[in-house]
Structure 1
């Protein structure tokens, strides 16, 4: 595997010592960005990446639609994986979820994932409409993995594969709100939906093992510390999402890759294994990476390259079939 771009980052910038334009040029990737106006009247930031070398004679080999996790956005650290996938020959697209990154909305508030799913489908459908001849795949990290699964279930037969990387299939017992707060979370969400829930540990600290990457994540000008403790209404919705994933994973019937860290203390690895076991897919792969925590990109070089090689090889393998 060619080195993942995150290996050339530093604690102040995912682009290392380069400007964003120099970064894209170095990796021979064409980057575009714009805002879309959604059906629920908010503006969301979108991005695409594709190899510069592609032409009419050498079009993209497929579309990969990416969905970031709760404490992330489509740019910054997450973007380095989009560039890595684009370098494989794919047209990659991603969106800042409402209240995240450059998108409109109260910071970190997701009281319901239903409109978020609608927003993603709206943008991804626009991208695929211009590339109808290409196979299309969904890739989601953490909360994005659950949202990607829901999109597949909403759009049965329209996607050629699903990658769930550290997906939110269940919240780890080590990261749930402290007792008895979890029991009273529905009441808290109703009475004080904006109150920030104190969970067992800090989300960024628990997600990224390498210290310099935690610092890099916190330096993102659009994320900062607002996402490290979710509002009560959002915390309740995240728990509900996990319940729905467990209830509906039997309906998943498309090529599926579930990759999860054995040491994940945010999203429960056993729940991810159960999703894999119960999925109706006949073409499905499970990879539990020893020593890996919640965010694969937050690991050291060895584990990071091992995990992403599984993802990249899986995507390339689906194109060859």
Structure 2
């Protein structure tokens, strides 16, 4: 599941930050209004604040149906990629046996491969591919961008296999700090750098022998939709089409923190960037309409579900503001899919994106009663319908090439 930053959750700073005439208060940290005093107070308290946040141990929900040993493994601190990789290895077989349409109806014969690459910044990136079974010609390459807190090694496994069975080579990566890639868990020091990491990795993918010369598409889900849009805006002529699933593309004005609050948060993010100061709710109830599937979200054992790190929150706010200011520059063939009852990212924002984009070839599909995770948390028939819509759109646009 995508433990995504909900747009409405961005209202939290307004309630947690008490603004007075003479000071600002954030939690137990009192910040003087004058910039010089602000820096001095932040510097003197930053060490203790970071220490306190590091001492916070989030009680992880017990996973029903697995052994005490596996629950103990899943409860480990996941800050380091090495730990996340061990935890994933312990659960990979269990995950594939879950009673979910994406796993139990996975097409046979899909060729998969996993590997690590050191990128130009020296970060070890986890990548995975799903190719059609031998003998089926590859129509195009589809590169995927996952949501906040997520990984490409859980629910997306089943999504990728079904798309690959229709003749597409599917590729995915975990961002630095997420999933199996190196980096502090849940930490985005720069959204621009993250987008550049994605561009670099998928530039390498596009010249692989099995897909060189074929159409190439990029698909992003939730925060991954923001990543995808950022990538497209940076290289507008490099993709034959963009697919966005419940994208985080704009922060609504009524849930954006006040300007004074944003200034304080931006300054604090430079002093204690890794501090976990933003409340993080369990979004499974909001994201998964099917209660039975909602319970399976607990098996996404390497997802990031702690409080959001301060720099990460500031970077997401900055990124969506930047994307919003450039939506008219979105020019690629565009497919936007969104649950009409989504309370994590607003379907009206997808409508706004659809209207603003300059693409001559664009489609918006809103799924009645659909929640946020329309590819993972809906009834089986809805999940298969959404996957069918993606494949049909890809087939149509491949035929145009």
Which runs of 5 or more structure 2 residues have no equivalent in the other structure? 1-63, 67-93
CA contact (8 A) 2:163 2:387 kept: no
Aligned residue for 1:134? 214
Larger Rg: 2
Counterparts in 2 of 1:280 and 1:93: CA distance versus 1, 3 Å:
same
Superposition deviation, residue 200 in structure 1: 7.4
Superposition deviation, residue 182 in structure 1: 6.4
- SS of match in other structure, 1:121: helix
Residue 312 of structure 1: which of 391, 396, 400 is its match? 391
- SS of match in other structure, 2:276: coil
Residue 122 of structure 2: which of 26, 38, 41 is its match? 41
Counterparts in 2 of 1:141 and 1:17: CA distance versus 1, 3 Å:
closer
Q: Deviations over 1:53-109 (max 9, x none)?
A: 23xxx5300000011001210111122111111111001100011111110000000
**Residue 90 (str. 1) matches residue 171 (str. 2):** no
Normalising to structure 2: TM-score of the pair? 0.69
Superposition deviation, residue 212 in structure 1: 3.8
Superposition deviation, residue 181 in structure 1: 6.6
Aligned residue for 2:50? none
Q: Deviations over 1:204-261 (max 9, x none)?
A: 44323334434333223322xx435311111111122211221111111111001111
CA contact (8 A) 2:280 2:308 kept: no
Superposition deviation, residue 32 in structure 1: 0.4
Superposition deviation, residue 282 in structure 1: 0.2
Aligned residue for 1:256? 334
CA RMSD of aligned residues (A): 2.8
Superposition deviation, residue 25 in structure 1: 8.8
Counterparts in 2 of 1:88 and 1:228: CA distance versus 1, 3 Å:
farther
Counterparts in 2 of 1:182 and 1:114: CA distance versus 1, 3 Å:
closer
- SS of match in other structure, 2:343: coil
Normalising to structure 1: TM-score of the pair? 0.85
**Distance (whole Å) between structure 2 residues aligned to residue 53 and residue 98 of structure 1:** 32
**Distance (whole Å) between structure 2 residues aligned to residue 288 and residue 124 of structure 1:** 29
CA contact (8 A) 2:138 2:167 kept: yes
Which runs of 5 or more structure 1 residues have no equivalent in the other structure? 1-9
Superposition deviation, residue 183 in structure 1: 7.4
Aligned residue for 1:209? 289
Aligned residue for 2:276? 196
* Count of matched residue pairs: 304
Residue 71 of structure 1: which of 141, 149, 153 is its match? 149
**Distance (whole Å) between structure 1 residues aligned to residue 345 and residue 98 of structure 2:** 33
Residue 265 of structure 2: which of 185, 196, 201 is its match? 185
Residue 382 of structure 2: which of 275, 289, 303 is its match? 303
Residue 134 of structure 2: which of 53, 70, 76 is its match? 53
CA contact (8 A) 1:172 1:267 kept: no
Superposition deviation, residue 184 in structure 1: 4.5
Q: Deviations over 1:160-214 (max 9, x none)?
A: 0000001111346898789x97674324423432232444743344323334434
**Distance (whole Å) between structure 2 residues aligned to residue 173 and residue 228 of structure 1:** 26
